[in-house]
Chains A and B, each alone.
Chain A
């Protein structure tokens, strides 16, 4: 079974340029997450989707970040314009169920996209 697929794996851009990251979750997984991971830190949630609906985007900097999950399958995260501080790894994860009490809320992560803003 294929895991979570992300592309590109690496991206180098100059500040003020736009950038987009793509994620294809595990087939059948309705819940999709985008995380940001700074060097030496754990991942931090940016946005969570249930199917095509963004149900938690409270940590997404909406002035420059946007995301979409058309048709409730793959997803795109965009930054426009990018700033130096956006250099980080952007992780996508998926799970088969929304977070429920008592359930195994195991999330499956992709390898991430490492963004460098110059």
Chain B
């Protein structure tokens, strides 16, 4: 699985969009990009995943660059409850396991 690189921490004002970047420059053609988040004292929670196209669901949007070397998770209107560690994971199709890195600690500020 390709290694992903994320900034260790970010702040975002409440009500503003939170844009969390992820670099996966060595991603291969059959690797998906998955995002999970982990709120304090809870287990990780799935957010979204994508391969090539941009994706949107009720939680977030995922923007993947055309060369697939990077992506951005967008929380359109961040709330205090979005404060968490966000993990970007490249997941090889047919592989067995998710490899979490150290993620980005997002703090939403009132």
The 8 A CB mask of A103-117 against B (1 = contact, 0 = none) is 011111111100000
How many residue pairs at the A-B interface have CB separations less than 8 Å? 55
A102 and B93 contact, CB distance less than 8 A: yes
Interchain CB contact under 8 A, B43 and A112: yes
Q: Does B15 contact A (CB under 8 A)?
A: no
Q: Given A40-B102, A42-B103, verify A4-B43 contact (CB < 8 Å).
A: yes
Say yes or no for A56: interface residue by CB 8 A criterion. yes
Chain B interface SS verdict (over half): loop
Interface magnitude class on chain A: 20 to 34
Q: List residues 35-59 of chain B with CB under 8 A from any CB of chain A.
A: 41-46, 49
Contacts of B101 in A (CB 8 A): 42
Per the CB 8 Å criterion, the residue count for chain B at the interface is 22
Q: Are A91 and B43 in contact (CB under 8 A)?
A: yes
B residues sitting closer than 8 Å to A (CB atoms) are: 30, 34, 41-46, 49, 85, 87, 91, 93-98, 100-103
Task: Supply 29 A–B pairs (Cβ within 8 Å), ascending by A.
Answer: A4-B43, A40-B102, A41-B102, A42-B100, A42-B101, A42-B102, A42-B103, A43-B44, A44-B100, A45-B97, A48-B96, A48-B97, A55-B96, A91-B44, A93-B44, A99-B94, A99-B95, A100-B94, A101-B30, A101-B94, A105-B34, A105-B91, A107-B46, A108-B46, A109-B45, A110-B43, A111-B41, A111-B43, A112-B43
